[in-house]
C-alpha cells in the first residue's frame, strides 16, 4: 500500500473539476492505497461532495498560521478543516521560491495545521546548485529539522508525511533517478527514526513523476508514494501511477 497525492497547483477550471475527479474515484475507491487530492482551495467544498462516501482524501496546497483575523488573501487552517480537508501541503518549493516562504514560517504553519487537526505534508528539496555543491541531503535535513522543531510529539500521532521534491525535478521533466531519490529518502528515514522513533512517516517522492517512471521509483526501499503535479491533471495518468 502506497500514498498517491495529487497537487493540482493553480490549474483546473470549475468546469473541469468533476471530469477529473470522477474517474479517479471510480478507479481508486476501495484500494488499500492512500489517495489524496489537493486542488486549489476554492474547490475544496466540491471535493468534499465528490469524494463523500469514498476512501479518497483531500487537502489544501497551503494555509496561513493564524486561525482568523486581518490577513487579506490568506486561508485559515480552521476553514480548511471545516470544509472537510484532511491534509495540507506545507513548504512546497514553489511557496518557498516564488512567495519567499522561509523554514521558520513553514514551522509556524506546521504548528497551526497540527493545532487544527490537519495532517501536514511537509515538502523539502534541494536546488540544482545545492545538489551540484554536494549539499542535497544537508539542505533537506535542515529543512526538516526546522519544520518539525518543537512539534515532534504532536507530529508522531498526526499522520503527517514528508515529500522529497528536488527543485530541479519539479515540472521540468527531469526526474531524479531511482538511486538519487532513494539515497535522499534513506537519509530522511534515518532522520525520522532519530526524531520520531518507531512511528511510520510515509516518505513521498515528487518531481516529474509519470506513469512511465512510477514503478521503478516505488520499488525503492524508502519511497512510500508520490506527490504528483503535472501528471495529476490527467485522470488516466494519475490512475496509471496509482496502478504502478
Ligand atoms: P511535477 O510537480 O510532478 O509537475 O513535477 C510535483 C510537485 O511540485 O509537487
State phi, psi for 65 to the nearest 5 degrees. Answer: -95, -10
- CB of 237 shorter than 6 A to ligand 1: no
Place of cell 490549474: 11
The closest of 117, 123, 200, 136 to 162, measured between CA atoms, is: 123
- CB of 230 shorter than 6 A to ligand 1: yes
Looking at residue 171, its pLDDT comes to 85
Would the pLDDT of 42 be above 90? yes
Would the pLDDT of 236 be above 90? yes
Summarised one tens digit per residue, pLDDT across range 143-191 is: 999 999 999 999 999 999 999 999 999 988 888 999 999 999 999 999 9
232 and 11 Cβ atoms separated by less than 8 Å: no
Would the pLDDT of 121 be above 90? yes
91 alpha carbon to ligand 1 midpoint, in Å? 13
- CB of 171 shorter than 6 A to ligand 1: yes
What average pLDDT does the chain have? 97
**What pLDDT band is residue 137 in, cutting at 50, 70 and 90?**
very high
Looking at residue 231, its pLDDT comes to 98
> Taking the C-alpha atoms of 101, 107, 109 and 113 in order, what is their torsion angle to the nearest 10 degrees?
150
Q: What is the mean pLDDT of residues 81-100?
A: 97
- CB of 167 shorter than 6 A to ligand 1: no
State phi, psi for 92 to the nearest 5 degrees. Answer: -55, 145
**What pLDDT band is residue 21 in, cutting at 50, 70 and 90?**
very high
Looking at residue 34, its pLDDT comes to 98
Ligand 1, residues 228, 233, 234, 238: which to mutate, most atoms within 8 A of Cβ?
Answer: 228
C-alpha angle with apex 228: 150 to 160, nearest 5 degrees? 25
Summarised one tens digit per residue, pLDDT across range 53-66 is: 999 999 999 999 99
Summarised one tens digit per residue, pLDDT across range 97-119 is: 999 999 999 999 999 999 999 99
- pTM (two decimals): 0.97
Burial degree of 104 (CB within 10 A; 0-12, 13-18, 19+):
exposed
Place of cell 539542505: 139
DSSP per residue, 97-131: HHS---HHHHHHHHHHHHHTT-EEEEEE---HHHH
Q: What is the mean pLDDT of residues 129-155?
A: 96
- CB of 217 shorter than 6 A to ligand 1: no
Looking at residue 175, its pLDDT comes to 87
Q: Beta strands 203-206 and 87-90: pairing type?
A: unpaired
Looking at residue 208, its pLDDT comes to 95
The H or E element spanning position 216 is helix 211-218
Q: What is the mean pLDDT of residues 186-209?
A: 97
The closest of 50, 45, 31, 37 to 75, measured between CA atoms, is: 45
Q: What is the mean pLDDT of residues 15-44?
A: 98
Ligand 1, residues 38, 95, 209, 213: which to mutate, most atoms within 8 A of Cβ?
Answer: 209
Amino acid at each position: 500500500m502506497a500514498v498517491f497525492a495529487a497537487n493540482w497547483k493553480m490549474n483546473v477550471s470549475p468546469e473541469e473539476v468533476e471530469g477529473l475527479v470522477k474517474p479517479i474515484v471510480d478507479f481508486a475507491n476501495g484500494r488499500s492505497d492512500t489517495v489524496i487530492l489537493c486542488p486549489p482551495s476554492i474547490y475544496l467544498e466540491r471535493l468534499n461532495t465528490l469524494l463523500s462516501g469514498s476512501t479518497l482524501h483531500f487537502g489544501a496546497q497551503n494555509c496561513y498560521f493564524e486561525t482568523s483575523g486581518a490577513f487579506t488573501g490568506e486561508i485559515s487552517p480552521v476553514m480548511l478543516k471545516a470544509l472537510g480537508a484532511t491534509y495540507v501541503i506545507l513548504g512546497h518549493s514553489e511557496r518557498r521560491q516564488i512567495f519567499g516562504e522561509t523554514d521558520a514560517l513553514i514551522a509556524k504553519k506546521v504548528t497551526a495545521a497540527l493545532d487544527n487537526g490537519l495532517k501536514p505534508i511537509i515538502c523539502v528539496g534541494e536546488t540544482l546548485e545545492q545538489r551540484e555543491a554536494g549539499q542535497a541531503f544537508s539542505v533537506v535535513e535542515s529543512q526538516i529539522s526546522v519544520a518539525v522543531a518543537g512539534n515532534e510529539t504532536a507530529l508522531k500521532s498526526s499522520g503527517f508525511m514528508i515529500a522529497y521534491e528536488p527543485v530541479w525535478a519539479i515540472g521540468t521533466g527531469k526526474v531524479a533517478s531511482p538511486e538519487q531519490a532513494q539515497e535522499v529518502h534513506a537519509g530522511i528515514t534515518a532522520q525520522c527514526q532519530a526524531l520520531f522513533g518507531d512511528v511510520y512517516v510515509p516518505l513521498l517522492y515528487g518531481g516529474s513523476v509519470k506513469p512511465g517512471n512510477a514503478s521503478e521509483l516505488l520499488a525503492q526501499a524508502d519511497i512510500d508514494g508520490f506527490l504528483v503535479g503535472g501528471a495529476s491533471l490527467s485522470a488516466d495518468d494519475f490512475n496509471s501511477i496509482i496502478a504502478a
